[in-house]
Amino acid sequence: MKKLMFMTSVVMVFFLIPNLQIHAYPFEPVDIEGHWAYEELDQFAKASLVEGYELSDGRREIRPYQSITRAEFVAILNRALDLKKVEGGTDFKDIKGKWFEESVRIASSHGLVYGMGENMFEPNRPITRAEIASIVIRAMEDSIDFSKGSAKRFEDVSQHWALDAINQASKVGIIHGVSTTEFKPNRNANRAESIVLIKRALDKEQRNAPTEEYLVNLIHQLSEEWTSALETKDYEKLKATQDRTTGYYEAMQSISISYDIKGMEDGTSVEYDITTPKQGYAVHISNRFADVKITQGEMERTVTFPYERNGSNVWTSSVSEVGTYRFYKEDGTWKIYDIQSQEEDELLLY
């Protein structure tokens, strides 16, 4: 689990205050370390696409091995696809007044779910692996090219109602099966399997993906806007940088900014000089997720305090911008939800 080890730009202290960690609790589930699906579960938690279960101490669990209901799956899928309600859909009788009513209505309006007869959705029934394959294929039919590849020859799906969807999903690598010959279509899916299948599908979407240059430029813009706002003590501009972030990084950035503003109000000032220009490349880009690795980039940061600290009121340090910047497209805007710095236990904040 990443420690909250901020290098806040104005206060200039490494913060290892225990109660700050609670702000990370919603984004750092305690039960996924070492899990085979850790990477996908961590990304969905950091991007606020899965909320998990809150414990008595405020921490969260994903409960990856637990079965997932039809309503829970639809809610996560809607968030991942950033779906909004459109005209149409089915008015299911068994969802009214429940927490999942809006999610199911949205999925139905997009033709992703059809119900189980007699106007019933059966929201609390565990969803099967076949149902997930079918829903995911419907969701991605316009954004993934299913014409390429070869379907896996699962022996247990030849007469199954979801055969076409299972074949389509296996052709492009969204599903792999429980073995080379079995898919287990009627087995209840667990929460980890569901999130992995959604993430694999999202990673296959390429038709509307941004360019590498565009994403690298977004990183430049965040850096320039944040440091400029600190130098000019422009509090509103500083707060506006949060429009470029979401999820985990936005929450941690908010804490950093609050310390920055307090320091500036107390008379502290800061200046930045670029010593090594940023360079980087895209590790992965799809329609909704992207990872960009910055391989070099460093600034010198000079902080002037209104009082002396250790015999001087000026303190200079280096800020490395090297790391992996993780993006998610939210409400049509590409936003950073995590930055994995070159130091494993540190979070890059200006």
Higher pLDDT, residue 279 or 311: 279
Residue 341 has pLDDT above 50, yes or no: yes
* Phi and psi at residue 119, to the nearest 5°: 60, 30
- Which letter does DSSP use for residue 22 in this model? G
Three-state DSSP class for 280? Answer: strand
Give pLDDT tens digits for 112-126: 999 888 899 999 999
Helices (H), 128-187: 129-140, 163-171
Helix (H, G, I), strand (E, B) or coil at 287: coil
Are the C-beta atoms of 287 and 143 separated by less than 8 Å?
A: yes
- The pLDDT of 224-243, averaged and rounded, is 95
Distance CA 226, CA 240 (A): 9
Q: Give the tens place of pLDDT for each residue, 56-77.
A: 999 999 999 999 999 999 999 9
Average pLDDT over residues 204-216: 95
Q: Tokens 């320091």 sit at which residue?
A: 263
| Helix and strand totals (H; E) in the chain | 9, 9
How far is residue 191's CA from residue 66's CA, in Å, rounded to a whole number? 6
Task: Give this prediction's pTM.
Answer: 0.91
Of the given ranges (13-17, 200-204, 279-283), which has the lowest mean pLDDT? 13-17
User: pLDDT value at position 12?
Assistant: 41
Give tens-digit pLDDT for 133-189.
999 999 999 999 998 899 999 999 999 999 999 999 999 999 999 999 999 999 999
